[in-house]
Structure 1
Amino acid sequence: MTQLSKATAAGAALLAAAALLAGGPAQAAPGGTSGGDYLYLTVSRGESQSGDSHGAVLLCDPPQGYSRAAEACAELAAAGGDIARVTPATDALCPMIYAPVTAQASGQWNGRPIEYRETFSNSCQMAARTGPVFALDD
């Protein structure tokens, strides 16, 4: 897949999410989150957005977008939508191998904009720190 087609696919996914959100009247979701919670998530190899990335749109009312969407939405709800506040795993044993991955998120949670970007030393570190949020299907 070329860089252009990935960018086109990402744009199409965001437009699809926006269309879903605009399709009907907003209703409050159970558990106190608004019905418009969504994040466009990407994971890239390296320290910057590269051609070797994959992404997904996470919707949380109902949870959809990838296989661990329900878990990701629950973690985000507990953290108030702040990915940096997701409870890290305390039992993760990650190798000390430098193979950086960059995780990015943009969207909204409870009506406020969300922007997140962090580079981790490897994918195990990312998974230990962000839990199911960036556990995107390959």
Structure 2
Amino acid sequence: MRNTARRATTLGLTAATVLGPLTGAALAAPDHTPSSLHAPSALVLTVGRGESAATATPLRAVTLTCAPRPFGTHPAPGPACAELRAADGDPDALAAGDAVLCTKEYDPVVVTVDGVWQGRRVSYERTFANDCVRHAHGADVFAF
């Protein structure tokens, strides 16, 4: 009986010695570090037929989230996010494709981009002469 009591006491003291410092860490205040170091990047893109967003006939709207990972209803979120990253989130900085030839017909389409890019507010509107020109600018971003 004495050996059992001695073993139990020894085991209890050993456990307290080993686990004691760990319980202090568990009781410490929780770390409020954000789970993600990415600033939000979520956009809503629309396209409509007309010369301005206020008067255009809506054709389609998609969502595009680029951080923490590309997803959304945009048909190609990965390539579109890569294109926006290369332009630092500025839709005006998207380059026109050199290999694209478009007709000069005037059938205006307007594109809007609203949301947040890496924590900065984005509000963009641009009217293109026709759908071909829209696809030539920001080939992946505006291809929806």
Instruction: Tell me if both proteins adopt one fold, taking TM over 0.5 as the criterion.
Output: yes
Is 1:97 aligned to residue 105 of structure 2? yes
Q: Secondary structure at the match of 2:51?
A: coil
The equivalent position to 2:36 in structure 1, one of 27, 32, 46, is: 27
Is 1:64 aligned to residue 93 of structure 2? no
- Report if aligned partners of 2:50, 2:109 keep a CA contact under 8 Å in 1: yes
Gaps of 5+ in 1: 1-24, 29-33
**d(CA) in 1 for partners of 2:100, 2:87:** 20
Q: Normalization by structure 2: what TM-score?
A: 0.69
**d(CA) in 1 for partners of 2:125, 2:135:** 14
Structure-2 change in CA distance of 1:26 and 1:54 (3 Å): farther
- Report if aligned partners of 1:26, 1:36 keep a CA contact under 8 Å in 2: no
Between 45-54 and 65-74, report the one with greater CA deviation: 45-54
Shift of 1:108: 0.8
Structure-2 change in CA distance of 1:57 and 1:99 (3 Å): same
The equivalent position to 1:74 in structure 2, one of 68, 71, 82, is: 82
Instruction: Name the amino acid aligned to 2:47.
Output: V
Q: Secondary structure at the match of 1:132?
A: coil
Matches within 5 A, 1:1-138: 25=34, 27-28=36-37, 34-49=38-53, 50-61=56-67, 62-65=69-72, 66-136=74-144
Structure-2 change in CA distance of 1:35 and 1:110 (3 Å): closer
Gaps of 5+ in 2: 1-33
Shift of 1:68: 1.1
Structure-2 change in CA distance of 1:96 and 1:26 (3 Å): farther
Q: Normalization by structure 1: what TM-score?
A: 0.72
Query: How far does the alpha carbon of each residue in 1:35-67 deviate from its partner, in whole angstroms, 9 at most, with x for none?
Result: 410111000011123333210111113211222
Aligned pairs, number: 107
